[in-house]
Every structure is written in structure tokens, then in C-alpha cells.
Amino acid sequence: MTIGAVDGAFLSSDFTESFAGRVIGAYARSGRVDVERFNYRGRDVER
């Protein structure tokens, strides 16, 4: 299931002038979240 897709190029230092990484993880706007397991498989793309 795909929740969302983002072009990570806009998170590079070329665009933000300070942030040079990508962040992924669970996030709660309110209340409590228990994360028992988190799997991520990236796809490297040649530029």
C-alpha cells in the first residue's frame, strides 16, 4: 500500500540551503502511537 510519494530532490541542500537528508518514520499529531515494526526498502535511482 502506497501512502504517498515525494520527489526527494526538493529536500536536498540545493533547494533548502541547509537540510541535506531525508526523514521517514511514524508520526502522531495527538495521542500516542506504538510502533512495533517499521520496514523500509529504498530504490536507488541513477541521475
pLDDT for res 19: 58
pTM of this prediction? 0.32
- Give the integer Cα–Cα distance in Å for 5 and 10: 12
Digit-by-digit pLDDT tens for the chain (47 residues) are 677 777 766 666 666 666 566 677 788 888 888 888 888 877 766 65
Q: Is residue 22 within 8 Å of 8, Cβ to Cβ?
A: yes
- Give the integer Cα–Cα distance in Å for 4 and 25: 13
pLDDT for res 7: 73
- Give the integer Cα–Cα distance in Å for 47 and 45: 6
